[in-house]
């Protein structure tokens, strides 16, 4: 499988939770979502944000990752998840943030460590988020079924990092997306095979990630501590 990071161009730790939102006359409410990378050692791929009913999941710890989550966690590729979720039953809104988040406290060109988007929801919806830790085999920061707030009462969540369970954690440069060298803390050596990761697939459930062991090309300089991402949600319409 050829690896790529197309849009170069996170159980969640909950801080504040409020009741489900009221909705406008047309049944739809609009929310502003700000996603901030808290990790100074890892950039994050363009996150995907989804609003959906509380009885369904974009991803869920302890279950097998969907093809969309695998594409995010292995390749930083949001389009598979967007296609899966758009128009799916019980899904209201789907947003590809469209830009990576740089390491905390840094910028790269027009990219920074925080981005703000808007997404629609209806009564009873919750919000889920997923974005790859770029300097990893298949780690992603994710939030599952976060409660949406009422007007004037924003909610803030801290998201942890999960292992998608779909790829062996070799920590070798040839199995890491090229953007790690571009946006990460150090340039990796030996990345000359087009990021071909054939033959290292695994079939495990989504679980909390153990972090970087530092036994391959990834270094302890790439390791992180939870929480990795802060998400602030406000109702704006």
The structural domains of the chain, with segments of one domain joined by +, span: 13-235
7-62 residue pLDDT tens: 343 333 322 222 334 445 468 999 999 999 999 999 999 999 999 999 999 999 99
160 to 11, 75, 229: CA distances (angstroms): 7, 19, 7
The rounded distance, in Å, linking the Cα atoms of 128 and 7 is 19
Strand ranges inside the chain, DSSP E: 13-14, 29-37, 48-53, 91-96, 114-121, 125-132, 139-147, 155-163, 207-208, 229-235
Pairing state of beta strands 29-37 and 48-53?
A: unpaired
Checking if the pLDDT of 3 tops 90, the result is: no
Helix (H, G, I), strand (E, B) or coil at 18: coil
In the numeric block, the tokens 């994710």 are attached to 142
Cβ atoms of 144 and 81 within 8 Å: the answer is no
82-123 residue pLDDT tens: 999 999 999 999 999 999 999 999 999 999 999 999 999 999
Termini Cα distance of the chain? 42
What is residue 83's DSSP assignment? H
Tell me the two tokens of residue 140: 């992603």
What is residue 172's DSSP assignment? -
Cβ atoms of 94 and 85 within 8 Å: the answer is yes
Tell me the two tokens of residue 157: 């969540």
In the numeric block, the tokens 């704006």 are attached to 236
> Exposure of 22 by Cβ count < 10 A (0-12 exposed, 13-18 middle, 19+ buried)?
exposed
Helix (H, G, I), strand (E, B) or coil at 222: helix
Pairing state of beta strands 125-132 and 114-121?
A: unpaired
137-174 residue pLDDT tens: 999 999 999 999 999 999 999 999 999 999 999 998 88
For position 191, what pLDDT does the model report? Answer: 57
In the numeric block, the tokens 């070798």 are attached to 172
Vertex 175 angle, CA 170 and 176, to 5°? 105
Predicted TM-score (pTM) above 0.75: yes
CATH fold group of domain 13-235: Immunoglobulin-like (2.60.40)
172-228 residue pLDDT tens: 888 888 899 899 999 887 555 555 554 488 999 999 999 999 988 999 999 999 999
């Amino acid at each position: 499988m050829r690896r790529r990071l197309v849009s170069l161009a996170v159980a969640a730790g909950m801080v504040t939770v409020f009741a489900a939102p009221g909705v406008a006359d047309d049944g739809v409410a609009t929310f502003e979502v700000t996603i901030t990378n808290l990790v100074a050692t890892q950039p994050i791929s363009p996150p995907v944000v989804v609003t959906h009913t509380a009885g369904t999941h974009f991803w869920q710890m302890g279950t097998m990752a969907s093809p969309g989550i695998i594409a995010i966690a292995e390749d930083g590729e949001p389009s598979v998840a967007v296609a899966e979720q758009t128009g799916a039953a019980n899904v209201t809104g789907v947003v590809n943030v469209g830009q990576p988040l740089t390491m905390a406290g840094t910028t790269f060109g027009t990219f920074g460590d925080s981005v703000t988007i808007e997404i629609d929801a209806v009564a009873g919806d919750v919000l889920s988020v997923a974005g790859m830790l770029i300097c990893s085999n298949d780690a992603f920061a994710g939030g599952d079924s976060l409660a949406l707030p009422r007007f004037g009462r924003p909610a803030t969540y801290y998201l942890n990092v999960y292992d998608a369970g779909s790829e062996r954690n070799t920590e070798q440069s040839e199995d890491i997306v090229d953007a790690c060298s571009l946006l990460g803390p150090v340039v990796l050596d030996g990345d000359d095979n087009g990021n071909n990761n054939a033959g290292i697939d695994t079939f495990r459930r989504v679980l909390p990630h153990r972090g970087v062991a530092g036994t391959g090309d990834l270094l302890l300089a790439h390791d992180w501590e939870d929480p990795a991402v802060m998400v602030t949600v406000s109702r704006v319409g």
